[in-house]
Amino acid sequence: MDPYAFILPLIRTLEPERAHRLTVRALAMGFGPAQRQPDDPALRTRVFGLEFPNPLGLAAGFDKNAEVWRAALRMGFGFVETGTVTPLPQQGNPRPRLFRLAEDAAVINRMGFNNDGIEAAARNLAGPRPGIVGVNIGKNRDTGDPVADYAACAARLGPLADYLVVNVSSPNTPGLRALQGPEALTRIVDATSRALRRACPDGAPPILVKIAPDLTGQDREDIASVARGSAIAGLIVANTTIGRPAGLRSRWRSESGGLSGKPLFAPSTELLADMYRLTGGAVPLIGVGGIASGGDAYRKIRAGASLIQVYTAFVYQGPVLIQRIKDELAALLRADGYDDVDAAVGAQHC
């Protein structure tokens, strides 16, 4: 019997942000479950020069201050992405700023990069890493120099990360998404890369960029062009959407902020497939948005994802989701004759 089948309904009676904070504190105190069986060998994969025991990661936003990444790895995630972290601590947007759309298996948030800053994250990331840990970085809301903010985060946190993510796609920080334009994005990536090389003389971690799902066709082409001609090692597709698909039922559906969860699956997967096409499969992609089953994960992989991430479904289903996705994904790979994840990446384009 899964104990979280009893705990989760109780947690969901709490206000969403309070429930999240309580969950993080419980995990930090050691109350999280541990993986009970080794990963299927078919799930092993190598991306960005890193060896992943399985392709399923925990997306940024859950562990903003890098407090529980060790606990998440123990649960069975193949990697964990912490953050988003900004140079200086900031409170984020006014509450309430997190809303459960339970009828839609979705969440709307307008958190606004609330976090304790790079020094707190650095303390929490110090020490041996028992698995792959990424750090998602952003700019402070009121900064006068966004490029300098990303470089500062890279210099401080790069030596403590297996990969670094430039977040220019959250809808909850004014002006942030404008940084996805080719000139601004190139400046940020170049500055981040220089800062990483100085901070990590023995080898810098790869730089990824997380993009929005609400991109025009020209935006997509521009980002693909920058990705293929710069220090970008991969793209994360995609962040939350400002769109509101028809059919949302929750009373919270009109709240401002980024929508995540099941309604994001189709548009984010379409974008994923398009970015795979536009980059010629030469830039590794992480698929995120609406994954709630092994079948969803497999569709992302076939669309072009080398790795996948979950967040919203994890909030609703709890830790049992991790093993379920991995088991279902391994079965689907074998049913189609694939020996490993890599062999299935982009299969729908063949």
pLDDT tens string for the chain (350 positions)? 455 565 777 777 889 999 999 999 999 999 889 999 999 999 999 999 999 999 999 999 999 999 999 999 999 999 999 999 999 999 999 999 999 999 999 999 999 999 999 999 999 999 999 999 999 999 999 999 999 999 999 999 999 999 999 999 999 898 889 999 999 999 999 999 999 999 999 999 999 999 999 999 999 999 999 999 889 999 999 999 999 999 999 999 999 999 999 999 999 999 999 999 999 999 999 999 999 999 999 999 999 999 999 999 999 999 999 999 999 999 999 999 999 999 999 999 98
Task: Clarify whether 193 is annotated catalytic.
Answer: no
Q: Is the separation of the CB atoms in 344 and 333 below 8 Å?
A: yes
Q: How far apart are the first and last CA of the chain?
A: 42
- As for how many domains the chain has, the answer is 1
Q: What is the CATH number of the domain that holds 249?
A: 3.20.20.70
Question: How much is the pTM?
Answer: 0.96
Q: Which of 169, 170, 268, 306 is catalytic?
A: 170
Instruction: Characterize the bridge pairing of strands 98-101 and 106-109.
Output: antiparallel
pLDDT at 172: 86
Question: Which pLDDT value is given to residue 4?
Answer: 59
Q: Is 345 left (phi over 0), alpha (psi -120 to 50) or beta?
A: beta
Token pair in block for residue 65:
């201050």
- What's the pLDDT score for residue 6? 56
With both helix axes pointing from N to C terminus, report the angle between 265-278 and 217-228 in degrees, rounded to the nearest 10: 50
Beta bridge partners of 7: none
Would you give the DSSP letter of residue 309?
E
Is 204:178 a contact under the CB 8 Å cutoff?
no
Q: For residue 296, what are the domain limits?
A: 4-349
pLDDT at 9: 75
d(CA 235, CA 283): 7
Burial track 123-137 (b if 16+ CB lie within 10 A, e otherwise) = ebbeeeeebbbbbbb
